Amino acid sequence: MENEMLVATAFTLSAQVMLDIPISLSDEDSNISTEEEEVIISASKKRKLHTPQRIRNYMEHIVGGYTAQQFQQHFRISIDAYEHILSALGPQLQKTDPIGRSPINIEKQILAVIWLLATPDSYRSVGDRFDLAKSSLSVCFLRIIKLLNQLAPRIIKWPERQQLAVIKRRFSVLAGLNNVIGAVDGAYIQIKAPKEDSESYITRKCNYAFTLQAIAIPSLQLTDVFIEYPGSVSDHRIFRNSDIYRAIINNVEQYFPENEFIIGDKAYPILNWCIPPYINRGNLTAAQVHFNTIHAQTRQVIERTFAFLVGRFRRLKFLDMNRHDLIPSTVLAACVLHNICLNFNDLLIEDYVGDGLADVVNNGNDDDAAHQLGRGQQHRDHICREVFRNQNRINE
């Protein structure tokens, strides 16, 4: 009986402590010893510590004192990149709340969302860090993701003609493959199991994912991004249905004014402007083997770009989002930030690439490789012969 009374009193005291009600024992409880009372109060106080505690003035008192390196280590972007983002998004965020409340500090909104993308931390823990309710943080996230998507056409774009010479030269330096202006590939963005139509999202690795198709250049900048298809769809089909494919087909000269081309793995179609490697069925010539080798070395650009993207924005390793319709826009927003960061004194690039290499899974669905027999066959053979001739001249 005494034990039951002790337990009941403990729960009563615990509730009082949680609600900041002054503790007082009734006459009926007065027979509890001082030692027992201290144990009960101590346990109740420990229970109270589990209540989430927000960090007050984290930005003003802590972030404001970070050095440039400390800022990048915490937010995974440089201060210069952050200031550019602030200037780009700030005017749109300077609006009062729809119901008349004062808006949340603009810098707090941006830094909280960057923290969400850069870490796998929960909304609740990030909200506590920035002194924001979970609901307020969700609103900030949606608002900033939308604004970053609106910036995408200006930030992720095909190179201008005057930039092509530099890009071709940098690609050539990598392995000796000339006239390349981009490397294309698809990578999985893993997600939690959808509530509906989950089978279409299952990958060859038996995970659930969207496929991010991207084209990159040696600076690791993205020149095109397309994320609309679930992980079960092959790279070939995604490429054929992407916006960039349709745009190029309608105006090849605009994208490849001097017979340039992009490269992709063996899942991609062979066209005059898209060159995959030869499929090795045991009958390749020495020239074709050599071509495949330098092709693979050149294609590392897109692999490093994916690793860099996921290594910086750790949330992309696994997007645990209830609304799957928001996943493409979230990934696109991260890609926009990726390109912005590369233009502003980006630090720790190799660290981020190293972080992401183990996490990036290429789509690699080669079911459509048979479609390679197409218009670009002669073009690839010509490139192959030229590359092999150049190599022989170097060896002589």
Q: How far is CA 218 from CA 163, 190, 368, in A?
A: 12, 26, 27
Mean pLDDT for the chain overall: 84
- What does the pLDDT look like over 190-217, one tens digit per residue? 999 888 778 889 988 889 999 999 999 9
Distance CA 54, CA 133 (A): 9
**Does pLDDT of 14 surpass 70?**
no
Contacts of 274 (CB under 8 A, 6+ apart): 184, 261, 262, 263, 264, 268, 376
**Where do the domains of the chain lie?**
55-95+102-155, 159-395
pLDDT band at 370, cuts 50/70/90? Answer: very low
Quote the pLDDT of residue 94: 83
Q: Where are the alpha helices (DSSP H) in the chain?
A: 2-18, 34-48, 58-61, 68-75, 79-93, 106-118, 123-129, 134-155, 161-175, 235-240, 243-250, 252-255, 286-312, 327-342, 349-357, 377-395
Q: What is the pLDDT of residue 230?
A: 94
- What's the pLDDT at 101? 58
Query: 153-178, pLDDT tens digit by residue?
Result: 999 999 999 999 999 999 999 999 99
- pLDDT bin (cut points 50, 70, 90) of residue 59 is confident
Residue 13 has pLDDT above 70, yes or no: no
Q: Is 101 helix (H, G, I), strand (E, B) or coil?
A: coil
Residue 366 has pLDDT above 80, yes or no: no
Structure confidence by residue, pLDDT tens digits, 61-82: 788 888 888 999 999 999 999 9
Q: How confident is the model at residue 257 (pLDDT cuts 50, 70, 90)?
A: very high
Sign of the CA dihedral 306, 308, 313, 318? Answer: positive
202, containing H or E segment: none
Tell me the backbone φ, ψ of residue 279, rounded to 5 degrees.
Answer: -80, 125
What confidence score (pLDDT) does residue 373 get? 52
pLDDT at 104 over 50: yes
The predicted pLDDT at position 86 comes to 96
pLDDT exceeds cutoff 70 at 377: yes
Task: Tell me if residue 346 falls in helix, strand or coil.
Answer: coil
pLDDT mean over 104-118: 95
- Determine the Cα–Cα distance for residues 308 and 16; give it in Å rounded to an integer: 51
Verdict on whether the full-model pTM lies above 0.85: no
Give the residue, 34 or 314, on which the prediction is more confident: 314
The letter for the amino acid at 157 is K
The whole-angstrom separation of Cα 267 and Cα 245 is 15
pLDDT band with cut points at 50, 70 and 90 for residue 11: very low
Read off the pLDDT of each residue in 259-276 and give the average, rounded to a whole number: 95
Query: For residue 12, is pLDDT > 50?
Result: no
Bridge partner residues of 230 (DSSP): 210
Q: Is the pLDDT of residue 231 over 70?
A: yes
> CA 271 to CA 266: how far, in whole Å?
12
Q: Cβ(170)–Cβ(218) under 8 Å? A: yes
165 contacts: CB under 8 Å, gap ≥ 6: none
Return the pLDDT at 181.
98
Asked if residue 329 lies in contact with residue 65, where contact means CB atoms within 8 angstroms, the answer is no
Q: Report residue 359: phi and psi, to 5°.
A: -100, -20
CA distance 300 to 282: 24
| Percentage of residues in the chain having pLDDT higher than 70 | 81
Lowest mean pLDDT among 75-84, 138-147, 197-206, 307-316: 197-206
SS3 225: strand
Residue pair 299/263 in contact by the 8 Å Cβ criterion: yes
Where does residue 258 rank: exposed (0-12), middle (13-18), buried (19+ CB within 10 A)?
exposed
Q: Does the pLDDT value for residue 32 go beyond 60?
A: no
